[in-house]
C-alpha cells in the first residue's frame, strides 16, 4: 500500500469522525471519539492492506485492489527505429524520485520545527522548582501511579500543564494563588493526562502529521484529537465531583483561559487546552453518567469502521489487470497491491553503471521480496537460468512469436521446457543481478524486437 493510499483511506476515516463528532458530540463520550481517532491513526501509520467483502472501496477507487496507481501501456515499436520513440523530458522514475525527496524534506522539516519548539519550552520548564506543601504531599500520596511524577512550579508558565513521558511533570504557575479545592481540580485534570499517557499519544500524532504533512485533514485531526483528550480528562475529573464542584471547575477553566490567553509557550498539555474552551465548559455542565448503550453503540460503529473503511476491496489482486498492446493482452505479472512501475523503457541512465542506454523493459518495484510472479500469458519456458546482470531470469515463449522476459527474480519455480498457463506462479520477486532493490524487470519481445513502453492509462479491468 502506497503512502497516498494510506493518506486517502485515513482521510475518509477523519471525515467520518468529524461528522460523528458534529452529529453525536453531546451523546457520546470523548473517549469514544478518541477510539475513532486511534483507528484513523492506525490506518495512516500501517502500510498493511487487508481485503474484505464489506469494504466500502469495493465501489470507491481509493486503495482498490485492482492494481497500482502508476500505470503504463505497452506499444509495439517500429522495427529498427527504436531511437525515434518519443521520450518525455521528465521520466516517471525521475518524477518519483523528486516526489520522494520533496516528501522526505517536508517530513523532516515538520518534525524538526515541532521538536525544536518543544525543546526551547523545556529549557524554560527546567527553571521550575518542586512544590513541597503539605497539601501537595498528601495529594500525591492519595493519587499514586505506576510511574513516578513530580509537581513543580514555574514563574514563566501562565497556566498549568503536563509534560514528559517517562518521568512526567505537572507544572503549575508560580504566580497564581489557588485554594486547596482549586488546586485539587487542577492536579486531578493533569494527573489524568499522565494516567492516560496523553503525552506519548501526542508525539504519535506529531509523527503522523510529519509523515502526512501534505494532507490538511491530518492537521485537522491533530487539533480535534487533542481537544478530545482535554475533554476526556475533564470527564474523568468531574466524574468524582458533585454538581456544585462541577460548576466551580467550569469557572476555574474560564479563569485559567483568561490567564493563558497570551501564553506563547509550546506545551504538551495545558490545563486550559488550546481549543474551544466553550465546548469544554458545556460538556462539564452537561456531564452525564456512564451509559452502557453509548458504549455498545461505539463498539458497533468501530466494528463497522474497521470492516468498511480500513480494509481494501476483495478480488484477485492484479489478476484483473491487463496490459494492452494492440491485439495483445497480458496479465500484470506481480501479485501485490504495492507493485508500481519504478522505471520505464526508452533512453535511461543505468542506476549502477551510470551509462545511458535504451531500456527494453519496465521495472516493477514496491513489493516485498518473495512476492509471487505469475505468467502474463500461456506458453513454454524457453530459458531459465542465472547471469551476473539479469540475476535469476526466465524467458516465456508465447503465441505469435512473442517472448516474455522476467529478470532479477529471487527464485525460479519452473524449469526450461515447462508448459505454463496464464496466472501460474513461475517465480518470486527478488534482488539478484544488477539492481539496487527488490524488483522485476519485465520485457516483451515480438519477432525478436522489443515492445517499448511509455506512461499512459491503458490498464483495463476484465
> What is the pLDDT at residue 29?
79
Distances (CA, A) of 431 to 7, 44, 344, 418: 29, 28, 18, 24
Better pLDDT: 116 or 79 = 116
Whether the per-residue pLDDT at 109 is higher than 90: the answer is yes
CB burial string 203-218: b at 16+ within 10 A, e below? eebbbbbbbbbebebb
- Which residues belong to CATH 2.70.70.10 in the chain? 318-461
Mean predicted confidence (pLDDT) in 306-324:
56
> Distance between CA 98 and CA 346 in Å, rounded?
20
Residue 303 burial (CB count, 10 A): 10
Of the options 3.40.630.40, 2.170.190.11, 2.70.70.10, 3.40.50.2300, the CATH number for the domain spanning 318-461: 2.70.70.10
Cα→Cα distances 362→187, 191, 390, 445, 455, Å: 62, 58, 13, 12, 10
Output the nine-digit C-alpha cell for 6: 494510506
Instruction: Give yes or no for residue 462 having a pLDDT over 80.
Output: no
Residue 73 or 279, more confident = 279
- Would you place residue 262 in the very low, low, confident or very high pLDDT band (cuts 50, 70, 90)? very low
Question: Is residue 69 predicted with pLDDT exceeding 60?
Answer: no
Lowest mean pLDDT of 7-21, 235-249, 281-295, 335-349, name the range: 281-295
Rounded to an integer, the average pLDDT of 154-161 is 86
Q: What is the mean pLDDT of the chain?
A: 78
Q: Which of 233-237, 261-265, 399-403 has the lowest mean pLDDT?
A: 261-265
pLDDT > 70? residue 63:
no
> Poorest-confidence range of 50-64, 184-198, 244-258?
50-64
Higher pLDDT, 376 or 55: 376
The winner for highest mean pLDDT among 113-127, 198-212, 264-278, 354-368 is: 198-212
Q: What is the pTM of this model?
A: 0.62
pLDDT of residue 380: 94
Higher pLDDT, 221 or 321: 221
Residue 79: pLDDT band with limits 50, 70, 90: very low
- pLDDT level of residue 258 (50, 70, 90 thresholds): low
pLDDT at 435: 85
> Helix/strand/coil (H, E, C) string of the chain?
CCHHHHHHHHHHHHHHHHHHHHHHCCCCCHHHHHHHHHHHHHHHHCCCCCECCCCHHHCCCCCCCCCCCCCEEECCCCCCCHHHCCCCCCCHHHHHHHHHHHHHHHHHHHHHHHHHHHHHHHHHHCCCEECCCHHHHHHHHHCCCCCCCEEEEECCCCCCEEECCCCCEEEEECCCCCCHHHHHHHHHHHHHHHHCCHHHHHHHHHHHHHHCCCCHHHHHHHHHHHHHHHHHHHHHHHCCCCHHHHHHHHHHHHHHHHHCCCCCCCCCEECCCCCCHHHHHHHHHCCCCCCHHHHHHHHHHHHHHHHHHCCECCCCCCCCEEEEECCEEEECCECCCCCEEEECCEEEECCCCCCEEEECEEEEECCCCCCEEECCCCEEEEEEEEECCCEEEEEEEECCCEEEEEEEEEEECCCCCCEECCCCEEEEEECCCCCCCCEEEEEEEECCEECCEEECCCCEEC
Lowest mean pLDDT among 179-183, 270-274, 458-462: 458-462
Percent of the chain having pLDDT more than 90?
Answer: 31
- For the segment 13-27, what is each residue's pLDDT rounded down to a tens digit? 999 999 988 887 777
Considering only CA atoms, which of 225, 228, 226, 224 is closest in space to residue 283? 228
Amino acid at each position: 500500500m502506497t503512502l497516498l493510499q494510506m493518506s486517502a483511506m485515513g482521510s475518509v476515516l477523519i471525515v467520518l469522525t468529524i461528522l460523528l463528532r458534529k452529529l453525536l458530540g453531546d451523546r457520546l463520550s470523548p473517549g469514544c471519539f478518541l477510539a475513532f481517532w486511534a483507528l484513523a491513526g492506525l490506518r495512516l501509520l500501517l502500510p498493511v492492506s487487508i481485503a474484505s467483502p464489506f469494504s466500502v472501496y469495493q465501489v470507491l477507487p481509493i486503495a482498490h485492489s485492482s492494481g497500482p496507481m502508476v500505470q503504463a501501456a505497452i506499444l509495439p515499436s517500429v522495427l529498427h527505429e527504436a531511437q525515434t520513440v518519443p521520450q518525455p523530458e521528465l521520466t516517471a522514475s525521475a518524477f518519483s524520485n523528486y516526489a520522494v525527496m520533496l516528501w522526505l524534506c517536508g517530513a523532516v522539516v515538520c518534525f524538526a520545527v515541532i521538536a525544536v519548539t518543544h525543546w526551547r519550552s523545556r529549557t524554560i520548564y527546567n527553571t521550575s522548582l518542586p512544590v513541597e506543601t503539605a497539601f501537595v504531599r498528601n495529594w500525591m500520596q492519595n493519587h499514586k501511579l505506576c510511574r513516578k511524577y513530580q509537581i513543580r512550579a514555574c514563574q514563566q508558565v501562565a497556566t498549568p500543564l503536563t509534560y514528559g513521558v517517562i518521568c512526567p511533570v505537572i507544572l503549575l504557575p508560580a504566580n497564581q494563588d489557588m485554594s486547596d479545592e482549586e488546586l485539587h481540580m487542577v492536579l486531578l485534570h493533569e494527573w489524568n493526562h499522565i494516567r492516560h499517557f496523553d503525552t506519548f499519544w501526542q508525539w504519535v500524532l506529531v509523527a503522523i502529521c510529519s509523515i502526512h504533512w501534505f494532507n490538511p485533514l491530518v492537521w485537522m485531526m491533530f487539533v480535534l484529537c487533542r481537544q478530545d483528550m482535554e475533554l476526556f480528562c475533564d470527564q474523568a475529573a468531574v466524574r468524582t465531583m458533585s454538581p456544585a464542584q462541577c460548576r466551580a471547575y467550569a469557572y476555574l477553566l474560564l479563569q485559567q483561559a483568561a490567564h493563558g490567553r497570551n501564553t506563547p509557550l509550546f506545551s504538551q498539555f495545558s490545563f486550559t487546552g488550546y481549543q474551544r474552551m466553550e465546548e469544554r465548559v458545556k460538556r462539564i455542565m452537561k456531564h452525564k453518567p456512564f451509559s452502557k448503550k453509548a458504549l455498545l453503540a461505539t463498539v458497533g460503529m468501530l466494528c463497522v469502521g474497521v470492516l468498511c473503511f480500513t480494509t481494501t476491496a476483495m478480488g484477485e489482486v492484479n489478476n484483473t489487470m491487463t496490459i494492452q498492446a494492440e491485439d495483445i493482452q497480458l496479465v500484470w505479472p506481480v501479485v501485490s497491491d504495492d507493485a508500481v512501475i519504478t522505471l520505464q523503457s526508452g533512453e535511461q541512465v543505468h542506476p549502477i553503471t551510470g551509462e545511458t542506454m535504451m531500456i527494453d523493459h519496465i521495472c516493477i518495484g514496491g513489493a516485498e521480496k518473495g512476492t509471487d510472479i505469475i505468467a502474463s500469458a500461456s506458453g513454454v519456458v524457453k530459458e531459465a537460468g542465472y547471469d551476473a546482470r539479469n540475476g535469476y531470469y526466465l524467458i516465456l515463449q508465447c503465441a505469435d512469436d512473442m517472448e516474455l522476459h522476467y529478470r532479477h527474480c529471487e527464485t525460479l519455480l519452473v524449469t526450461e521446457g515447462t508448459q505454463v498457463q496464464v496466472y501460474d506462479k513461475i517465480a518470486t520477486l527478488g534482488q539478484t543481478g544488477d539492481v539496487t532493490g527488490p524488483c522485476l524487470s519485465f520485457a516483451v519481445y515480438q519477432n525478436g524486437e522489443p515492445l517499448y513502453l511509455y506512461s499512459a492509462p491503458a490498464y483495463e479491468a476484465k
